[in-house]
Structure 1
Amino acid sequence: MTDHMRRTKIIATVGPASNDAKTLKQLINEGVDVFRFNLSHSTHAQHKKTLAAIRKVSKELNTDVGILFDLAGQKLRIGNMKKPVEIKRGQEITLTKNKVMGTGSRISVNHNYLIKELSKGDKILIDEGRIELKIKRKTPAELICTVKQGGVLSSNKGINVTAPLSLKPLTKKDREDIKFAIENKVDWLALSFVRHKSDISDLKAFIKRNKAHFAVMAKIEKKEAVSNIDEIIEASDGIMIARGDLGVEMPVEDVPLIQKTIIEKCMQKGKAVVTATQMLESMINNRRPTRAEVNDIANAIFDQSDAVMLSAETAAGKYPVAAVKTMAKVAGKTESAIDYAWMLRDKEAWVSADITDAISFASCELVRDLGAALLVTSTQSGATAARVAAYRPPAPILAATPDKRVMNRLKLIFGVVPYLINPSKNINDMLAKAKQAAKQSSLVRKNDKIVITAGALVNVVGTTNLIKVETID
């Protein structure tokens, strides 16, 4: 058996604090598996420069990392203010669809939907919930509100509402960003402010019309998304639990339970799940994390997230490398306390009548029962590797694939070590390639047992139907 390998993946957001070659190299060496680009910020030119730097550094290090583009979506915001101004509980303030320079009594909003669809009595939250307003009355152009919780208003602060809106998440900017993503062959696209499965369907349809393919991740940060979570998981390739906005839209005490529920639902469906937002927030300015943050990461690992994500910590923080190092150490230590073999028994009820699913679970059971050092999947689309990973087997998963894009997408999946191979000629050639890949991966030693799962019809998507046990010679 090999020494413990960290299986929970780390996603790091790139930005001014981390987009130079030296820092990128350090981040990869400390354990970054996927780099996230927040398309709410910066320009295509800067993103292209950073992407080129990542790929150059990866080549120098003889490794690969996944690339996730996070689309900006329909973010509700107030407009520009003349200057920051304090508003106090009990005072009246007007939100208008007209473009005005904001004051303490009148501010503009960036979407007419707010004025059109909200009603008397609805709650409006500004600046991550720090300021709370309640609608007192409305006109066709304005919402007249009472301040329920005061604070300092400044330009372009975000708005959250608990009432449902018909706002579509895919914007004109998002469409331009998707075309940019196609040109640059990224691996994952994350859609912000998803409410319904149709939001994901619309995105996938747009991608298809542009003759491209991405793994699509739905960001869960709206109250409606939590209500529609089953259909959204079904429509998506992965889920990101974006706890920042979610903790504003929902009662904050509900978020930990929502996190646990979504992670389990994603595992049951074989979909990737990322726990994100404020995981090491204090490390933006401090070299050491708080004890609560360390516990938050550990909790996400105990919940069995595929990946944990850093945002401002690596994009704009003072200690991006230290943040990744901390996350990797906490993840590795926490995993060492988890008995994945024992937990596999609880997942037997998840197995469906689908052949690939049944084979995937059976291969995990064989790994457990034989004490195998490695589970090898030969995969065309990455689906089998993701399905196997969903059961969290007690050994690493080597995903041998002839498709480099699939290989990079799998960098985000729990426990998966993607490995690029040449296309197989027949089943015997495929099995030989799988065993050879295991030997070359440094994940096994002589006399270790490995479990291989694949399809008898080689190079055909969706045909997984066999398991073979081999001993490394």
Structure 2
Amino acid sequence: MERRTKIVATLGPATDADGMLDKLVAAGVDCARLNCSHGSHDDLRRRAAAVRAAAERAGRPLGLLFDLQGPKLRLSGDVEERTVAVGDVVTFSASGTPGAVKVEFDKFAALVTERSQIVIGDGVPRFAVERLDGEDVVARAVSPGPLSPRKGINVTYARPELPAITEKDRADLALACELGGDFIALSFVRSAADMQQLRELVTGHGSRARLIAKVEKIEAYEALDEIIGASDGLMVARGDYGVEAGVARVPLMQKDTIRRATQAGKFVITATQMLESMIQAPEPTRAEATDVANAVIDGTSAVMMSAETSVGAYPLESVTAMATIALAAEETPVIHGRARPIKGEDTSRAVMRAAVDLADELDATALIIPTASGGGARICAKYRKRRPIIALAHEDTIAEQLTLEWGVYPTIMETAESVDDMIESALKTARDFAGLAPGSRVVITSGRRTGTPGATNLVMVREIP
């Protein structure tokens, strides 16, 4: 229980080999991501089952995250390949106007506003919209680059013509709920309404999955507080945000998003190209190590790998490097993004904050939190204190959903009949799970009724039996 920052690894062909997933878990993976943009439903089923089996063998919970593709815009497959220079005027059309670059979305012109820029591929070329000509969009290049078939296309400050959740997303979402996904992430979120729509669909499937908003559009960052309020967690998806806003805007967006999400008590994952060179190399670059460390010092709840583990040549080395860098970075004197106390908290939140402060003041070995919903552990996690938080959940699902919380180590404990029985059981369960030495001092929380969410009103100092 040394590392506090959690690790998310994307599964794919590189992790399918016999024994590889077990090795990744042993190296430090806390949550497995299934990217719904790639692979069939059979692939998703097989990998989800592999995650549950690996967790059983490891004897600890593993989170299972389904990442929905979201709406994707692409240039047509018959676009003629060419290079665009600054100042070139290009017409984009959904209807196949002669001489125009065809876009595979019939309402493309309706997306565009006077503030919009059209961005191709990974950021170049980039076009400023000059005017609409019926169903065509006339734009002037502000940065050079190639146009080629099937390239991705982004429109900044777009009107809400694209559906937030596509038909493919709905099918993938149904599967994620069927397979008991712990987390579901929505791509290209633009507003809190997108997340509210996702929550209605998830609830309709009878799922309690935690919902993650991916911050990768300018509109999402501008509506960040509302999106935080409508989500259970955030992902700083730096790739597409860098495409839309420009790479120079990514670092401050990342730091600000981590700070604001943490203050609200929501977990946040930092993602995209963290160890990109390790797709083909057994060691990260110095710049990549610094990038991971900076995210940890910023206070991110988790760091994520995509192609590094899903299709890279060195998935195990990537996880090992990520864990090593994160652990070293946590030696920093201060985690910058940690939450600050606020006035006017309700009783349970104030009690949990007092428990965090007490454990810190007494230099307790651990903070032990029996929990019915995971809420108490989440409240404590946002303060980013060094003390390990041992969350004793009454359900497998709750334990799995705590795997992305900073500094929280979840396991299962049955509900006790009385508060006294619960406290004694919690001390023994935490001892056996975390290897706490008999006689070591811990802080433990409780309520007047066992197994009741939001009823915590008691903080005690006890010794491990």
Would the aligned equivalents of 2:297 and 2:334 in 1 still touch at CA under 8 Å? no
Kept in 2, the 8 Å contact 1:448–1:471? The answer is: yes
CA contact (8 A) 2:183 2:401 kept: yes
Give distance in 2, aligned partners of 1:409 and 1:400.
Answer: 12
2:266 paired residue number: 271
Cα pair 2:232 2:267 within 8 Å, conserved: yes
Q: What is the CA distance between 1:307 and its match in structure 2?
A: 0.3
Partner residue of 2:412 out of 420, 437, 449: 420
Please tell me whether the aligned partners of residues 79 and 99 of structure 1 are also in contact (alpha carbons under 8 angstroms): no
Per the alignment, in what secondary structure is the counterpart of residue 381 of structure 2? Answer: helix
CA 1:65 to 1:347, structure 2 compared with 1: closer, same or farther past 3 Å?
closer
Moved more, 267-276 or 351-360: 351-360
Deviation digits for residues 392-436 of structure 1, max 9, x if unmatched? 122111100111001101111111111101122121121112111
| 1:392 pairs with 2:384 | yes
Of the three residues 121, 146, 164, the one matched with 1:127 is 121
- TM-aligned CA deviation for residue 179 of structure 1: 0.7
Deviation at 1:84, TM superposition (A): 4.3
Aligned counterparts of 2:393 and 2:55: Cα–Cα separation in 1: 19
What letter is aligned with 2:142?
A: K
Distance (whole Å) between structure 2 residues aligned to residue 120 and residue 211 of structure 1: 42
- Correspondences of 1:79-118 after superposition (within 5 Å): 79-81=76-78, 84-98=81-95, 105-118=99-112
Please list, as runs of the form range in 1=range in 2, the aligned pairs for 1:177-196 lying within 5 A after superposition. Answer: 177-196=172-191
* Structure 2 contact 368–426 (Cα < 8 Å) conserved: yes
| Partner of residue 236, structure 1 | 231
List per-residue Cα deviations over 1:96-146 (Å, max 9, x = no partner): 21369xx9x533223334311314674211012121123343233222333
* Count of equivalent residues: 464
2:350 equivalent to 1:358: yes
For residues 52 and 250 of structure 2, what CA distance do their matches in structure 1 show?
36
Match of 1:199 in 2: 194
- Tell me the equivalent position of 1:157: 151
d(CA) in 2 for partners of 1:273 and 1:424? 33
Give the gaps of 5 or more residues in structure 2.
none
What is the identity, as a one-letter code, of the residue corresponding to 1:374?
A: A
Displacement after TM superposition at 1:339 (Å): 5.0
Residue 282 of structure 1: aligned partner:
277
Residues 312-391 of structure 1: pairs in structure 2 closer than 5 A: 312-338=307-333, 347-350=339-342, 352-391=344-383
Matched, 1:406 2:398: yes
Q: 1:212 to 1:122 in 2, by over 3 A?
A: closer
- Whether the aligned pair in 2 keeps the contact of 1:121 and 1:136 (CA below 8 Å) is no
Alpha-carbon shift at residue 443 of structure 1 (Å): 4.0
- Aligned partner of residue 349 in structure 1, secondary structure: coil
Match of 2:213, SS?
strand
> Contact (CA 8 Å) 2:110, 2:159: kept in 1 or not?
no
SS in 1 for 2:3: coil
Question: Post-superposition, which runs of at least 4 consecutive aligned residues in structure 1 deviate over 4 A?
Answer: none
> 2:306 maps to which residue?
311
Give a deviation string over 1:65-119, Cα, whole Å, max 9, x none: 110000111122222146644334443433221369xx9x533223334311314
Unaligned runs of 5+ in 1: none
Tell whether the 8 Å contact from 2:92 to 2:138 is kept in structure 1 after alignment. yes
Superposition TM-score, scaled by structure 1 size: 0.93
Q: What are the equivalent positions in structure 2 for 1:446-457 lying under 5 Å apart?
A: 446-457=438-449
- Equivalent residue for 1:41, pick from 38, 43, 49: 38
Identity of aligned residues (%): 36
Closer/same/farther in 2, CA of residues 121 and 200 from structure 1, 3 Å limit: closer
